[in-house]
Amino acid sequence: MADPIVVAEGLHKSFGDTHALRGLDLSVPRGTVCGVLGPNGAGKTTAVRILATLSDPDAGHARIAGYDVVREAGKVRARIGLAGQSAAVDEKLTGRGNLRMFGRLSHLSRREAHRRADELLDRFGLMDAADRQVAGYSGGMRRRLDLITCLILRPEVLFLDEPTTGLDPRSRGEIWDSVRELVADGTTVLLTTQYLDEADQLADDIAVIDHGQVVATGTPDELKATIGDRLDVVVEDPAALRPAATVLNALTGTDPTMTGADRLSVALPGGGLRLADIVRELDRAEVAAADVRLRRPTLDEVFLRLTDRKESVR
Amino acid sequence: MITSTPPLAHRLRWTFADGLTLVGRELGRLRQEPGELIGALVFPAIMVVLFGYVFGSAIQVPDGGDYREYLMPGLFAMVTFSAVMGVMTRVATDASRGVMDRFRSMPMARLAVPFGQTGADLLTGLLMLAIMVGAGLLVGWQPHRGLIPTAQAFLLMIVLRYALSWVGVYVGLAVKNDQVADTMVPLFLPFTMLSNAFVPTGGMPGWLRFLADWNPVSALTAVSRELFGNPGAPSGNVAWPLAHPVAAVLLWSAALLVIFVPLSLRAYMRRGR
Ligand SMILES: Nc1ncnc2c1ncn2[C@@H]1O[C@H](COP(=O)(O)OP(=O)(O)OP(=O)(O)O)[C@@H](O)[C@H]1O
Ligand SMILES: [Mg+2]
């Protein structure tokens, strides 16, 4: 289990003056889902393209199932599937036509390519649309077709670059189900996403990247634990927000965030502060609190904190 | 670790097989959208009517032949040149939609992609030529010099078309964006018009005439006129490509292939972008 199937060490990649990757390290154990999380321009796509042999790193190296992505690209390609940021299928062909073509290009025999196409269409619920032209598919169907096109050769590692960007919640759920099914079959999945709930739902491990480097790794729970608990305060009168903020700042040493017209949220420093103390201090400042609550941070808050963007003050 | 490269014969076989699969892809597309072929022919068909009947009545063919007989070789050349735009658009679409990346990330023969694309164009090119021949026969055009010269003329069209399709591969890979490619398609028109396809070049101002005489469209048109026995054979002091059109077409084809095949392959194989 601990045997990593995807390993990247010190990957660097520049495009002119843009340093897309600056020493990216990654390690994904076989049979797990690794979520690569990062804001726009963090270098997610660049990293995936290098791992999928589409692009060479300027420095550093990467191995898939023990094969070097640069020197043994052919061996790597035989073991991976890539669903890029856009649905890479031929719009002019039917869904079945696409799968058959990619099956033949994967060097399956004609009969085997046809059989595999039907099998995948059936299993992933596209049989009804199989003979329709892809140009008429919905965004979700297109994405699903794109995903199953990667599965023709039963890849050991599947790279999904933002597989659900632009999909409605239902289509997104369907893609998630498909990914879970693949993982149950033993496929290793590396997926990039900007949606934290997606990583929360699917990933065993998360690597948060920013400015081309990994800034944190861990399970979703571990990441949440790294930034400590959050305190939410709801005041009865919005005019009390300012004094409440002053109190919270004095207690925690950080400026609270306004999360609504009548509420504040603040990160608690590790240990030392008890709910009772906070309530008493608010009382002393004559802030009438409707609700004071301690909670685990959301992955969003972890993400914003780690990627050093300003927390939204609406 | 020993990394064995598969033997050359094996690689060639797969390059050929994968190339054929991509040609088959074109057939699949045509089956879904037969209108596309017609769409590509709308323009030459309009030309047949517009020039053949509207302007044709006023245009004087140099040695007094029928204008529609004079026009058809020019339209064959025009259809041949549509290879550049057709292939460019398809390659740019594949590149911008990520289909090209999917091909690259698959364990398929790499060279099969550009060779498959140009092979597929040959297939559509033959179909378009066949339809144009039908249209030509309908309006009264015909070859007059027998089987062999007629076959030679069509062969030369196909050779030049294949060479031109590599220009399309290169430009398509260079623009990498189907929208940009679409905006470039209309450029095709002045390029084919600036030739002897519709009117003799003799009446053009000097510099324009020079461009028209050396335009490969003109050489191909001159070849067809000569080999089909259609009117419009240049006389007197004519530019070299028009005096030796067969040699000119072969040289143009060779030059385009020598330049654009390596450029395209390099652009396709280049990684790290
Ligand atoms: N081909 C390229 N040429 C020039 N710059 C590039 C190229 N590809 C990526 N970049 C730059 O590298 C940086 C990282 O890009 P990358 O696409 O990897 O980010 P990303 O994390 O995938 O972002 P997004 O969430 O928007 O998809 C960006 O600043 C981008 O502008
Ligand atoms: Mg990206």
Separation in Å, CA B48 to CA B62, B115, B141: 19, 32, 11
CB contact under 8 Å between B271 and A55, yes or no, is yes
Q: Distance between CA B25 and CA B33 in Å, rounded?
A: 12
Measured in residues, chain A has a length of: 314
Our answer on whether the CB atom of A20 is closer than 6 Å to any ligand 1 atom is: yes
Residue B6 lies in a domain: no
Which numbered atom of ligand 1 lies nearest the CA of A48?
18
Nearest CA in chain B to A107: B108
**Domain that includes residue B81, residue range:** 11-270
Q: Distance between CA A258 and CA A264 in Å, rounded?
A: 5
Residue B182 lies in a domain: yes
Considering chain B, what is the average pLDDT of its residues? 88
Measured CB to CB, residues of chain B less than 8 Å from chain A are: 3, 14, 17-18, 21-22, 24-25, 28-29, 32-33, 97-99, 101-108, 112, 271-273
Range in A70-74, A102-106, A257-261, B174-178 with the lowest mean pLDDT: A257-261
Residue B167 lies in a domain: yes
| pLDDT for position B38 | 78
- Beta-sheet pairing, A188-193 with A157-161: parallel
Nearest-Cα distance to chain B for A73, in Å, is 9
Q: Distance between CA B54 and CA A234 in Å, rounded?
A: 81
CB B107 within 8 A of CB B17: no
Residue A71 sits at the chain B interface (C-beta within 8 Å): yes
Mean pLDDT of B248-264: 96
| pLDDT for position A270 | 64
Distance in Å, CA A42 to ligand 2 centroid:
8
pLDDT tens for A157-180 read 999 999 888 888 888 888 899 899
Find chain A residues with C-beta within 8 A of B103's C-beta. 105
pLDDT tier at A271, thresholds 50, 70, 90: low
What is the number of structural domains in chain B?
1
Find chain B residues with C-beta within 8 A of A11's C-beta. none
Residue B31 lies in a domain: yes
Mean pLDDT of B213-227: 94
| pLDDT for position A310 | 43
pLDDT tens for A94-137 read 999 999 999 999 999 999 999 999 999 998 889 999 999 999 99
CB contact under 8 Å between B108 and A106, yes or no, is yes
Find chain B residues with C-beta within 8 A of A105's C-beta. 18, 21-22, 103, 106, 108, 112
Q: Which domains, ranges and CATH numbers included, belong to chain A?
A: 4-220 (3.40.50.300), 228-296 (3.30.70.100)
Nearest CA in chain A to B25: A101
Residue B160 lies in a domain: yes
More reliable by pLDDT, A291 or A7: A7
Q: What angle do CA B20, B23, B25 make, to 5 degrees?
A: 115
| pLDDT for position B4 | 55
User: Would you give the distance in Å from CA B147 to the centre of its chain?
Assistant: 23
Q: How far apart are the first and last CA of chain B?
A: 29
Residue B4 lies in a domain: no
Q: Which of A271, A264, A270, A275 is nearest to A311 (CA)?
A: A264
| pLDDT for position A2 | 58
Residue A314 has pLDDT above 60, yes or no: no
Residue B244 lies in a domain: yes
